């Protein structure tokens, strides 16, 4: 799935191609499960919805994050299957393994004042 989102960032293709890429990876994973086909179909509907939300999030944030910053592992989902953008942003900013400039841009765009100040202090240490 990660390569689908990164491909999206580098190319401006028809968006459904990228959604299909993400959905196909979900189908591949779902095909290994031993569940009735009706349940698999429902699962695929949920995966498509999640893929669409991930795609939209990536479109809105692609200028904030570097290509090597793995965002997928930081996505936070609500019980109703919607992406929690605020918790996702908080998780990305708090990660110590992430690119500091990406974290800084996300923190400043979401106005995480305390984390913003901490990252600013750390950046000044490098200067």
Confidence check: pLDDT of 68 > 70: yes
Could you give the 3-state DSSP secondary structure of residue 80?
coil
40, 33 in Cβ contact below 8 A?
yes
Question: Is pLDDT at 9 greater than 50 in this prediction?
Answer: no
Quickly state the pLDDT bin for 98 (edges 50, 70, 90): confident
- Residue 55 is predicted with a pLDDT of 84
Give me the pLDDT at residue 115, please: 66
Mean pLDDT across the chain, nearest whole number? 75
Tens of pLDDT, residues 38-58: 887 888 788 888 888 888 888
Mean pLDDT is lowest, of 2-6, 59-63, 80-84, for: 2-6
- pLDDT of residue 24 exceeding 80: no
Using alpha carbons, select from 94, 125, 97, 18 the residue that is nearest to residue 62: 18
Instruction: Return the sign of the alpha-carbon dihedral for residues 48, 4, 75, 16.
Output: negative
Place of tokens 């028809």: 14
Q: Say yes or no to pLDDT of 80 above 50.
A: yes
Integer Cα distance of 42 and 29 in angstroms: 14
């Amino acid at each position: 799935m990660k390569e689908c989102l990164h491909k999206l960032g580098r190319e401006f293709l028809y968006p459904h191609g990228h959604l299909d890429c993400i959905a196909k990876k979900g189908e591949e994973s779902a095909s290994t499960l031993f569940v009735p086909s009706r349940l698999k179909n429902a699962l695929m509907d949920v995966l498509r919805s999640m893929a669409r939300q991930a795609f939209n999030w990536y479109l809105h944030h692609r200028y904030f994050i570097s290509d090597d910053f793995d965002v997928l592992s930081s996505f936070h989902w609500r019980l109703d299957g919607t992406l929690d953008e605020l918790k996702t942003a908080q998780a990305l900013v708090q990660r110590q393994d992430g690119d500091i400039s990406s974290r800084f841009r996300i923190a400043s765009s979401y106005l995480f004042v305390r984390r913003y100040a901490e990252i600013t202090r750390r950046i000044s240490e490098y200067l």
